[in-house]
Structure 1
C-alpha cells in the first residue's frame, strides 16, 4: 500500500506543478494523473479486500493534496480576521469538498470496471469527472476554481479553441492524454500488448498535436476587428481589512477620482473602479443614490469627458414594504431591506443602471441550501447575522452607455463561470469589465490565478477584459488572452488602454457549455450500467 500512496502523492505534486500561476507548466497536466491511474490499476488487479475503499481514498489523497497546495490562500484570507482554528475549519470545506467529489468519480469508475471493459470504464471515468466539475459550478456550494480546464490559463496559446468548447474542452483533453499515456506505460510495465503500442502512440500523438497546432495557428493568425474605445482601470489599493475606521468613503472616492484623472484622456469612455469602490457605513440606498454627495462628485468629475461613464462596484441596498425576496431582512415593523454586492453605471444623464452580483460566495455572501437550513434563520437573526445573505439577480445584465457601447459588469468571483460571462456577450456586451477585490487573500497565488482565469473568458468570447482590482492586479487582456498591461501588486495605480469592441459571437458564446450536456448523458448511461445487474 505504501507504493500506491507514493504514486497518489506524485500525481498530486504533478497537478500542483502544472497549475497556475506557474508559467507555461500546463503540459505537465497531460501526465499528472498517470501515477494515480497506475496505483488504482494495481488495486483493481490485486487480491486484496475493500478494493473500492482503497480506490476512493487514494484518489481523495491526490485531490486533497493538490487542492490544498493550490488554494491554500483560502486559509490565509480567513486567518486574517478569524481565530486560527476557526479559519482552518472553514478552509477545510473547499480543501475537502472537491476531493470528495473527485474520489466519488473514481469510486464509480471502479464499480464500472467490475462489469465492463477498461475502455468503457475510462469513458465512464471521464464522464463522471466532468459531471463532478459541472455540479461544483452549479449547486449552492459552488467553487469551480479547480476545474481542470482552468489549468491552461498559464499557457493560453494552446487553448484558443476554448472559443468553441470552453474550459470543459480542456478538462476532456487532459483526461484523454492521461489515459492514453497510462495505457502505454501499463502495457510496458507488464510486458503486454492488449492494444497495439504503435496504434496507441499514433493516437496519443494525434490527440496532443492536433489541438495544439490548430490553437497555435489560430493564435498567430487571429486579428481583431478595429472598433476602438478608450478605457481606464483604477487600482486604489485600499486594504480591505482596514477599510472602515481608517479611510472614509469620501477619502476613498477622492483617491479614485485622482487616480482616474492622472491617466484619463478627453476621449475616455469608461472609467472602471473596483468592487465596493462606492460605499457608505450603512451602504447606499439605490433609490436615493442621486441625492448622495458621492453621486454629485462623480457627475462633476465626468463633466470633463464628453462620453465618459463610471462603471464601479458599490455596496448598496433596497427597501421594500414587504419581504419581496428570500434574502430581504426585516428593517422595521413594515419594511424590509435587501443588501447587495453590486455594480453601477453612472453617466451624465439622470439614468442609473444597477447590477446585483449573482454568483455569491458560499458561506460568506450567501447561506448554502437556505431552504433546507431555514430552521437556523432565527439563530442567525438572534446573533445579529444574516438570515439569507446578500440579495442577487438570476441573470446577468449589460450596462449600456449613451453611445450604445455594452459593457459586462462582472463582479469578482463571477469571472470563473464561463457560461455565465458568455451570457453577457449574448445580451450585447462588447467588452468585459471585471471589478474585484483580491486583497483579502494577501500576496498569494490566489490573486494571480484569478487574473489568469480572466484570460480564458477573453478567449471564449473574443472580448477584451478590463480588470479593476482594489488591492489585487488590475490590467487589460486582449481577445487572444494576452495580458497587454497590468499593475503591480499592492500599489495604487491607474492604466489607460485603447481596446477593440466586438459584437461577433463565438460558437461558445452562442451555445455555452454544450459539451457538458453530452457528458451528462454519458454519465447517466454509465450509472445505468453500474446499477443494472450483470447477466450471468
Structure 2
C-alpha cells in the first residue's frame, strides 16, 4: 500500500465517527465506523514495523474524530489568547486520541501472539478500559465515550438502566467486529470460493445483535410508567453573556433581580423548586457567613411568598482555614490564612438554613491542576470559567441536598452531568430528582452545548430520575424518566419554564451496581497490556 492509501481507511473511520456523533443525525454510522480501520490493520499486519503503523494511523483517525467533534473547546479558552486556547483544546484532542490508539496497538500485539479471536477480545476490553480510565483519573474527559453517541436515539437504549453507557460502547464495538468478520468472510468467498454458509451465519448474527437490544429497548420504553409523585419545578435561563456581562458588564444586583423576576413570573403557590444556573450568584459568597450574605437574604425574602419553595443556584464560594486543611487550599498573605474557592451549588429555603454542594468533578486544565505534584506547570494555563482565577477546591461531602419536606435532589454542576456512575452514586444516597446547573455560553453557538444537553437524557435513563436543567444561555429543559425532553427553551434568549416532574425512589440496577462492564473489561485490558509487553520483551531477548 502506498502512503496515501495507508491514510484512506483511517481517514474514513475518523469521518464516519464524526458524522455519527451528536448533534449530527447519522447515529447508525457508529455500527460500522471502525470497520475501515480494522481492515487497514489487517492489511498491514505483516508489514515491517506493523505495530507502529497501526498505532500512528489509528491516532490519525481518532484525532480527526476528536477534532471535528470537540473543536468548540477552543472558544472557552480564548481569554488566554490564541496560544492558550490551542493549548487547552489540545489536551482532550491529543490525549483522547492517544488512549484510543493504544487500544488498537494492544489489538495488534495480542492478535500477533495469540490469534485473531483473542486479539478482538483484547481490542474490546482495551477500548472499554480506556473509556473507564478516562472517566476515573484526574485527567478525566469522558465526553467521547462511545455509548454517549446513542443519546440522540435514546428510545433504543432504554436498557442503559442496567448497563450504563458502557453497555452502549460494547454494543457498538461488537457490531463493528461482526461487520468486519462479514467483510473478511466475503473477501475469502470471492477469492477462494469459500462456503456461503458461514457468511449467512455471520449476517444473521449481526441482524440479531442489532435488533434484539432495539426490540427490548422499545418494549421498555413503551411500557415504562412513572410513579405519580409530582413536584412543581421552575427552571430559569437568565441569558447573561459570560464574556461581556457576567463578571464585568452587568452589576450583580441587576443579575439577581433578573433571576428573581423570571422566577416570579411562573412561580405558583405549590412550586417546590426554582432552579438557577451555574455561578448565577456573584460575587464570592463566604460560606462562614452564609446567613448574612446579601444575595442569600434577598433570595430568602423572595421565597417568603412560596411556603414550600427552594432555590438551587450556582455560586462561587470561599471557605477559610487557619492552616492548610486541603490539598487545594491557597495562602492569603493579606489575612495570613488559607482558603479554598469552590464552584458550588446552594440550596436556599424558607429558613436560615442554606445547604452547600461543592462541585467535585472539575474540568482538567480549566478548573483544576491534574496531578499538580507532577504537572505543576499546568497551574500557569488553568483558565477561569467561574469568576475566579486558579484551580477550584473540591469535595463532595453533601452529594444529595434535602428540602424541608425530605425531597432529595442530586445537583450536577456542568461537566458533572456526563459522569454516569457519579450521578448513580447520588441516587444510591436517596436523590429523587436530578438538577443540572450549567453555563454553556462559554462554548458559543457550537455543537458543545447541544452535546451536553442530550447527554443528560442518558442520566435520566440510567437512574430513572427526572432531570431539570438550567443553563445560563440555554438550552434549559425538563427530561422525564424515559429520557424524553418534554419542554425546552431556545438558545441565547432569556426564558423561564415550569413543569410537574415525578419524583422516584426506586434504585435501578445500574445505580446499584455501577460500571461493572467497564471494571471487568479494564481488568482484562490490564492483563493484555502486560502480556503484550512481556511477549515483546521475550521476543527481543530470544533474538
Instruction: Give me the TM-score of the superposition, normalised by structure 2.
Output: 0.93
Deviation at 1:349, TM superposition (A): 1.5
Write the distance in 2 (CA, Å) between the matches of 1:374 and 1:441.
Answer: 26
Matched, 1:295 2:293: no
Q: Which residue of 1 aligns with 2:319?
A: 318
Write the distance in 2 (CA, Å) between the matches of 1:331 and 1:78.
Answer: 27
After superposition, where does 1:337-376 map in structure 2 within 5 Å?
A: 337-373=339-375
Match of 2:164 among 150, 156, 166: 166
Q: Which runs of 5+ in 1 are unaligned?
A: none
Q: Which residue of 1 aligns with 2:260?
A: 257
Q: Which residue of 2 aligns with 1:418?
A: 420
Matched, 1:439 2:441: yes
Deviates more, 1:70-79 or 1:398-407: 70-79
Deviation at 1:3, TM superposition (A): 2.2
Q: Which residue of 2 aligns with 1:430?
A: 432
After superposition, where does 1:27-38 map in structure 2 within 5 Å?
A: 27-38=28-39
Write the distance in 2 (CA, Å) between the matches of 1:307 and 1:182.
Answer: 58
After superposition, where does 1:101-500 map in structure 2 within 5 Å?
A: 101-191=99-189, 193=194, 196-242=198-244, 243-280=246-283, 283-332=284-333, 334-373=336-375, 389-394=391-396, 397-500=399-502
Q: Is the 8 A contact 2:162 2:508 kept in 1?
A: yes
Deviation at 1:77, TM superposition (A): 2.3
Q: Which residue of 1 aligns with 2:80?
A: 82
Aligned residue for 1:240, secondary structure, equals coil
Q: Is the 8 A contact 1:358 1:395 kept in 2?
A: no
Q: Which residue of 1 aligns with 2:529?
A: 527
- 1:414-462 CA-to-partner distances (Å, cap 9, x unmatched) read 0010000011111111010000000000000100000000000000000
1:33/1:252 Cα in 2 relative to 1: closer, same or farther (>3 Å)? same
Write the distance in 2 (CA, Å) between the matches of 1:404 and 1:87.
Answer: 44
Deviation at 1:374, TM superposition (A): 5.0
Q: Which residue of 1 aligns with 2:63?
A: 64
Deviation at 1:375, TM superposition (A): 8.2
Matched, 1:509 2:503: no
- 1:341-400 CA-to-partner distances (Å, cap 9, x unmatched) read 0001000112111011000011111111112235887999xxxx9997111114661110
Aligned residue for 1:241, secondary structure, equals coil
Q: Which runs of 5+ in 2 are unaligned?
A: none
Deviation at 1:83, TM superposition (A): 2.1
Write the distance in 2 (CA, Å) between the matches of 1:496 and 1:4.
Answer: 54
Matched pairs, number: 526
Aligned residue for 1:245, secondary structure, equals coil
- 1:83-130 CA-to-partner distances (Å, cap 9, x unmatched) read 223322321121111011111111111111111121110000000011
Q: Is the 8 A contact 2:291 2:353 kept in 1?
A: no
Write the distance in 1 (CA, Å) between the matches of 2:13 and 2:247.
Answer: 44
CA RMSD of aligned residues (A): 2.1
Aligned residue for 2:77, secondary structure, equals helix
Q: Is the 8 A contact 2:369 2:378 kept in 1?
A: no
Q: Is the 8 A contact 1:408 1:424 kept in 2?
A: yes
Aligned residue for 2:137, secondary structure, equals coil
Aligned residue for 2:44, secondary structure, equals helix
Aligned residue for 1:232, secondary structure, equals strand
Aligned residue for 2:506, secondary structure, equals coil
* Runs of 4+ with deviation above 4 angstroms: 192-195, 374-380, 385-388, 531-536
1:323/1:237 Cα in 2 relative to 1: closer, same or farther (>3 Å)? same
Write the distance in 1 (CA, Å) between the matches of 2:80 and 2:390.
Answer: 21
Instruction: Give me the TM-score of the superposition, normalised by structure 1.
Output: 0.94
Q: Which residue of 2 aligns with 1:100?
A: 98
Write the distance in 2 (CA, Å) between the matches of 1:388 and 1:407.
Answer: 29
Write the distance in 2 (CA, Å) between the matches of 1:177 and 1:4.
Answer: 24
Q: Is the 8 A contact 1:230 1:498 kept in 2?
A: yes
1:94/1:532 Cα in 2 relative to 1: closer, same or farther (>3 Å)? closer
Q: Is the 8 A contact 1:358 1:396 kept in 2?
A: no
